[in-house]
Amino acid sequence: MTTSDRIADVNTDTDTPAENGDGADGARYAEHRDTTEGRVYTVGGGDWDDVLADATKSERMIINMGPQHPSTHGVLRLVLEMEGETVTQLRSVIGYLHTGIEKNCEYRTWTQAVTFVTRMDYLSPLFNEMGYCLAVEKLLGIEVPRRAQLLRILLMELNRLGSHFVYIATGGMELGSTTAMTIGFREREEVLHLLEHLTGLRMNHAFIRPGGLAQDMPEDFEEKVTEFCKVMDKRLPLYDKLFTGQPIWRNRLKGVGFLPLDACLALGVTGPVLRSAGLAWDLRKVDPYSGYDEIDFEVPTSTDADCWARYLLRVEEMHQSLRIIRQVLKMLEPGPVMVEDRKIAWPAQLSISSDGMGNSLEHVRKIMGQSMESLIHHFKLVTEGFRVPPGQVYSAVESPRGELGFHLVSDGGTRPLRVHVREPSFVNLQSMPAMAEGGLVADVIAAIASIDPVMGGVDR
């Protein structure tokens, strides 16, 4: 039975001319009209009390939260059916941010597609790039140089820190804590400043390329990263003081948005939401990639399966990311950051001009002065791209929100035949009804924040 049918059944005994405002008792009722979503009332003036009293006795209200609501992470719409303040049914409506990134990738070369996928989940762009490039490299049958693998880990763990800081900042803001918002974004700015120094851009880096990295790190990167870790060591304990030990914060999250392990598995939920239910499923451990199997770190879990557990897990994951970053710095050795195969490798030692808007004149002279054959090859590599053997592959990484997988199909050409992404925010949003139905409307906000969806990834 649809929502419209249920509402129609409730109102069959009162469907009289007087209800529409006709007759002697018409003034007691609000005018209404029937829509595909149910009965809609036009309420005005002093009849609010009468209408609300009638609704709490015999009817369920349908309200829209979003897509412009600040608690719906940008452009998510939730249609709530409610009895009083209790949510009886929840439906997620997506698509307001649709960009067609997957289809756009199929009309670009394999390397150019990186600039599209990095814009999906814009809070973790480096993970988008990594998952895509691992899939391309698997199709090519190539192995990335060790230095490039370790630097990829370094960049991703910095990105994980930044993403989790935004979770705390936006989640706290949605629940009324402006302090969480200000200090969360303060720490995220530290991450973005460092990423800008390392890659040249704060976001949407397109720095991880098929075959390695766009270029090597700046000379002072170890000093900058070490200093960043020291700053985070001082600031992360502040979150335990302000939130973990705060009874208001704890009581607001504890027991809210409960999703047990069997429900997570049935819905395909991954990431911190799954680990909060007790399953230590982290692709960095269960299916290591890029050298994660050489690094010592823990995968935090809990069995509480609520918003409180997801908060605690993310804070602990930030400590583990710092632990990983420090180990990577010790493991790094000099070497190339791009494969040696010139049929695949884009130039990895670019020299930027003084205005930051392209190659320097010295670099152009170097390319032009080598040989006509190398110049032609460089031109064809950039404009046409390299060919990838036919086949299909699935490759996944552990993003801040869960399993981020790429299914790529090649027909042997210079661009993908099909690009499809298994995006964790999209899959995890399926858990919203299970988390919210039967609870209060105020707890819907906490449940959304605990999933930490990014609509750029959902609506790719």
Reduced to 3 states (helix: H, G, I; strand: E, B; else coil), residue 314 is helix
Residue 18: what pLDDT? 41
Candidate from 206-210, 233-237, 357-361 with smallest mean pLDDT: 357-361
Determine the pLDDT at residue 380: 78
pLDDT in tens, 318-335: 999 999 999 999 999 999
What's the pLDDT band for 65 if we cut at 50, 70, 90? confident
Same domain, 286 and 188: yes
Strand-pair category, 212-213 with 391-399: unpaired
Q: Which residue among 93, 112, 131 closes a domain?
A: 93
Same domain membership, residue 116 and residue 70: no
Q: Are residues 70 and 121 in the same domain?
A: no
- Residue-level pLDDT at 16: 41
Percentage of the chain with pLDDT > 90?
Answer: 49
Q: Does 222 share its domain with 127?
A: yes
How much is the CA Rg of the chain, to the nearest whole Å?
Answer: 26
Task: Mark out the alpha helices in 216-354 (DSSP H runs).
Answer: 221-239, 247-253, 261-267, 272-275, 283-286, 307-331
At 70, the amino acid letter reads P
| Residues in contact with 211: Cβ distance below 8 Å, sequence separation at least 6, in sequence order | 133, 137, 140, 142, 144, 338, 339, 341, 344, 345, 346
This prediction has a pTM of: 0.82
Whole-number pLDDT of residue 131: 94
> What pLDDT is recorded for position 77?
86
pLDDT (tens digit, 9 = 90+) per residue, 250-299?
Answer: 999 999 989 999 999 999 999 999 999 999 999 999 999 999 999 999 99
- SS3 state of residue 118: coil
Same domain, 78 and 214: no
The percent of residues above 70 in pLDDT, for the chain, comes to: 83
Q: Indicate whether 76 and 108 sit together in one domain.
A: no
What digits encode the pLDDT tens for the residues 367-390? Answer: 667 667 777 777 777 788 889 999
Whole-angstrom Cα distance, residue 260 to residue 304? 8
How far, in Å, CA of 351 to CA of 360, rounded?
Answer: 6
Domain boundary among 93, 115, 143: 93
Q: Tell me what pLDDT residue 57 has.
A: 55
User: What pLDDT is attached to residue 33?
Assistant: 81
Per-residue DSSP letter, 346? P
Range of the domain at 18: 3-93
